[in-house]
Structure 1
């Protein structure tokens, strides 16, 4: 279940996190869908109609690295995809990180792991 934030007004914590990223100079852009300026009633339809994990087995034998924040509301996306994926695969959970921390927080993004993964598998 999502954590409820009592500081802002009872919103789920992930909504507070998204607001703190997309609606502030940290991540706001006037044409960005998630900055609240471009969503329409039909914007999410492609996501709802796309069976995302249908072809995950076709990725193998190419290596897959899943990275997700420990406290991200969407962590189960990576865990579900990881469970469905074939080897070689790796799941990295970043301690204490929420979903938006992995967008631009250079102190949280696992650059060393990314470098190692791409150096190894794109050599």
Structure 2
């Protein structure tokens, strides 16, 4: 008897919480909060930054609420129309943006593309628990979130 009352109480609290979250999401009050990430401030890549490119760290959130860390590589020369074509790059399972994906992002920026190299969920500087896990569904969402992030940058042609 005690166990079933406890179960009912837990379900009631869960339903109330989900109803409150739904109500807030309809009014726009309940924005996804970005997880505070600890980002490295010094150059930590396995390659040198091109002289034709600027670099900065950026973060964005996917639809699962996981905050992703990325390195943005921007060409120093602005296109005639003032907007760059953009590319999102991430490596294979276990790879981080300081390795191959960052190298290629740097090279593509040399060629005129604004690029981001990002760590997928659960990996590197990006958030998510448990760590070092792979989920094809969430990885796909990570790429969608990266494209969404790029498409709203002032200097990107969506």
Tell whether the structures are fold-level matches, with TM greater than 0.5. no
* TM-score, length basis structure 2: 0.26
TM-score computed with the length of structure 1 as normaliser: 0.31
Higher Rg of the two aligned structures? 2
Higher relative contact order (CA 8 A, sep 6+): 2
Q: Would you tell me which structure has more strand in proportion to its own residues?
A: 2
